[in-house]
Amino acid sequence: MALAAVAVAVVVVVRHDGDLGSVRDLERGDCVDAAPFQAGQQPALADLARADCDGPHDAEVLLLVRLDARQAAGYRPVVPDEICLDALGDEADAAVSDERLLVAGVADTREPATGDTLACFGFAADGTRLDGHVKPR
């Protein structure tokens, strides 16, 4: 019985704090930690670790974009991410101005292909950690 409880605890810790295998493992509203966000920089997939949205965290997934050929060819891993801003549309104004957020897009690789997923994150422009979910939700 005690061994089963330990196994469950290990699974929960790995899911919560483990590195992500792909941005496709994320959903809108998921939160992550990644040191580059605090410096206003673009993280790579390997920098991301799941975080609890109810506590301090570095960024939140605003949306996921499946890249078309034009987006994949034009992707540049820089902040702010133009593909994410375009995909956010009117929501970008509210999220960026109300929360003073920057937007970064993270793909599984630095050169994504057509059909790959881009996770668009909102993070504090001043390098502070977020507490709770960003708006809009």
Q: Is residue 69 part of a domain?
A: yes
This prediction has a pTM of 0.81
Tell me what pLDDT residue 134 has: 82
Residue 136 lies in a domain: no
The predicted-structure confidence for 50-74, as pLDDT tens digits, reads as follows 999 999 999 999 999 999 999 999 9
Asked whether residue 137 is domain-assigned, the answer is no
Cis peptide before 80 (omega within 30 of 0): yes
Gap between the Cα atoms of 24 and 21, Å rounded: 8
Q: Which domain holds residue 20?
A: 2-131
| Token pair of 84 as six digits | 């994410």
Burial class (CB in 10 A: 0-12, 13-18, 19+), 8: exposed
* Residue 109 domain flag: yes
Number of domains in the chain: 1
Of 22-31, 36-45, 48-57, 99-108, give the lowest mean pLDDT range: 99-108
Structure tokens at 93: 């104004």
| Structure confidence by residue, pLDDT tens digits, 103-131 | 999 999 999 999 999 999 999 989 999 99
